[in-house]
Structure 1
Amino acid sequence: MSDHDHKTVSLEAGIYCDDLPVGTRFQSKKRTVTETDLVSFVNLTWLTEELFTNTDPADRAGMGISGRVVPGGLVYTFAEGLVAPSFQSSGMAFLNADLDMRGPTFVGDTLHVQCEVIEQRISTRPNRGLVRTRNDVVNQRGETVLSYTPLRMMRVRPAV
């Protein structure tokens, strides 16, 4: 995120496209990743990589990473789960995103998402626009573990 003084919006009221000029920032609530989250995600996706499923200490030592690391896909879905409710009344479509894994996430890490609007334009179609944000998923140590740039189609605020 840049150090410029930009508008910050509240996630509580619902956000529309026209509420989000370039430079607007917002932050999600926090969520701790649990062992149950990891096991449920691995079982749901059948992502049976030993890195996520084998807890034998002798085997884990040979994997080169200590702790219960979680898949990047789980980190991304947590991030969307933390951010998406803000668009409940205005979101129309998730169009695309670039995604960059920046570091490992472990069971027990507490994550939140810091967002900054990097692109916004009202569409030529009525009552909608496009918003791209840079979303940084940050752990309790202040480390960015994932960055992604979703482009969303959103409604504009209804006329009163």
Structure 2
Amino acid sequence: MAITGRDTYFEAFQVGQVYDHARGRTITNWDNYALTHMSMNTASAHFDLLLSTSAMDGRFKERIVAGPCTLSIVIGLTTEDMSENAFMDVGLDKIRLHAPVFQGDTLYARSEVLDLRQADRADAGLMRYRFTGRNQHGTDIASGERTVLVKRASHWADRDAAFGRKTA
């Protein structure tokens, strides 16, 4: 179920809930170039078309999108439903890149709530969820687990509403 724009406070989540996130995102060469160069990644297959297309017996017809770029976009696709009310990331774990991604691929995401637990503070809880990214062909391209510290509605909904933030 996609719940874009609805309540995303800690109390709204339940272990086992699955979210097929409403939005997709088409990868551009700029996405790949920006992250590759900002992170000083020197692996030429991410920005050298000739090298990319001649490597591995010509298996690839385009530059390979850097893994951190793929992960950033997939996790970003989950945020509106999963962490709109998060204070912070607490952890990323079990990261896997299952298939190459190329410019022009459109990515989609799915999330499943794995664990909910009390945090060290009364106004938030910890949520761990599994994310899976897939391309336009339905091929899984990335997965992992993300833990976020999420606001509790009991402490924040009224304050957020006072600032014009939609809370339900």
Shorter-chain TM-score range: 0.7 to 0.9
Contact preservation (8 Å) 2:119, 2:149: no
Contact preservation (8 Å) 1:17, 1:122: no
SS of equivalent residue, structure 2 residue 153: coil
In structure 2, the residue matched to 1:80 is 75
Q: 2:142, 2:37 → 1: CA distance?
A: 22
- Listed one character per residue, the Cα deviations across residues 99-118 of structure 1 (whole Å, up to 9, x for unaligned) are 11111111111001100101
Within a 5 Å distance, the mapping from 1:138-157 to structure 2 comes to 138-157=134-153
The percent identity for this pair of structures is 22
In structure 2, the residue matched to 1:31 is 25
- The size of the alignment, in residue pairs, is 151
Is 2:34 aligned against 1:40? Answer: yes
Within a 5 Å distance, the mapping from 1:47-126 to structure 2 comes to 47-56=41-50, 60-64=53-57, 65-66=59-60, 67-86=62-81, 87-88=83-84, 90-98=85-93, 99-123=95-119, 125-126=121-122
In structure 1, the residue matched to 2:126 is 130
TM-score (norm. length: structure 1): 0.84
Deviation at 1:125, TM superposition (A): 3.0
Deviation at 1:141, TM superposition (A): 0.6
How large is the RMSD of aligned CA atoms in angstroms? 2.0
